Amino acid sequence: DKNSYFTGVNITITAGPTQEALDPVRYISNHSSGKMGFALAEVAQKIGANVTLISGPVQLSTPNGVTRLNVTSALEMHQASLSGLKNCDIFIACAAVADYRAETVAEQKMKKQPGIDELTIKLVKNPDIIKDVSNHQNRPFCVAFAAETQHLEVYAKDKLKRKNVDLIAANDVAKNGQGFNSEKNALSVFSSEERFDITLADKKAVASQLLKIISQQYALKNKG
Ligand code: C5P
């Protein structure tokens, strides 16, 4: 049945932004809406997968039948992602994880200092979640996203190798009306051997096409 090709397959998807606290009332984050990850979760569930959605703070309702784990920071998303790997066949990293977090989070609200016009906050690197997943002993089939503004293919293929993933879904964020915080998306998907292009469409249609590519590549890998 072509509509249930993911029956019994456990898929974990990360989605949305992360928030990195500076103090009890402030944080560093980004404009990710979570829509692409939630669309993937909804479609994957409909085609038979057992879906776990690890979501940063977003304004979206949980798709029917999907198990949702809410997280705030990159460290929490990292922890939730790694602790679920025993039961994961396919991992799709769709979240816009903050690259850095504050080295120390102030316990009290930081006060404006009279006469001091500059403030320096030291940031430290967050773990690369998909890289740690793809190098784990219980390695699932791994898919990462890449947002690029130029040299799409070169950068995407480099990321495929560096992150040790099976597929990379790249979008050209320099083009208007697609990707980040938009209703639509277009993707170029790369494996180490092939390229698949998904033309501009609403995120649910794109999710459905991407999942088809994933299922084919996943089946290929399990055979080989
Ligand atoms: O390296 P870059 O951030 O461009 O890679 C994007 C891909 O890596 C996305 O799939 C994103 O979800 C994932 N990622 C991650 N953990 C990070 C940074 C990015 O899983 N700390």
pLDDT in tens, 30-81: 999 999 999 999 999 999 999 999 999 999 999 999 999 999 999 999 999 9
In terms of residue numbers, what domain contains 75?
2-223
Share of residues in the chain with pLDDT > 70 (%): 95
How far is it, in rounded angstroms, from Cα 24 to Cα 187?
Answer: 38
ipTM more than 0.95? Answer: yes
Which residue ranges are tagged as binding site?
99, 109, 127-130, 145, 159, 163
CA–CA separation, 53 and 88 (whole Å): 12
Number of domains in the chain: 1
* 50: annotated active-site residue: no
Residue listed under structure tokens 């460290």: 75
Report the candidate in 8, 28, 10, 4 with the shortest Cα–Cα distance to residue 18: 28
Q: How far is CA 98 from the centre of its chain?
A: 11
Average pLDDT over residues 15-41: 97
For residue 80, the domain's CATH number is 3.40.50.10300
93 lines ligand 1 (CB under 6 A): yes
Read off the pLDDT of each residue in 144-160 and give the average, rounded to a whole number.
95
Q: Please report the pLDDT score of residue 2 as a whole number.
A: 53
The 90-93 sheet, strands edge to edge: 67-70, 50-55, 10-15, 90-93, 141-148, 167-172, 184-190, 195-202
Please indicate whether residue 142, judged by its CB atom, sits closer than 6 Å to ligand 1: no
40, 132, 145: residue to mutate for ligand 1 pocket, most atoms within 8 A of CB:
145
How many whole angstroms from 94 Cα to the centroid of ligand 1? 8
- Angstrom distance (rounded) from CA 130 to CA 94: 10
pLDDT mean over 187-199:
96
Given a cut of 90, is residue 197 above it in pLDDT? yes
- Predicted pLDDT of residue 1: 45
For the chain, give the mean pLDDT.
94
Q: State residue 175's pLDDT score.
A: 79
148 lines ligand 1 (CB under 6 A): no
The stretch 139-148 carries a mean pLDDT of 96
Q: What is the largest CA-CA distance in the chain?
A: 69
Q: CB of 144 closer than 6 A to ligand 1? A: yes
Q: Whose CA is nearest to atom 5 of ligand 1?
A: 146
Rounded to whole angstroms, the Cα distance separating 152 from 165 reads 17
> Does residue 122 surpass a pLDDT of 90?
yes
For residue 182, pLDDT beyond 80: no
* Residue 1 CA to ligand 1 centre (angstroms): 33
What's the start-to-end Cα distance of the chain, in Å?
22
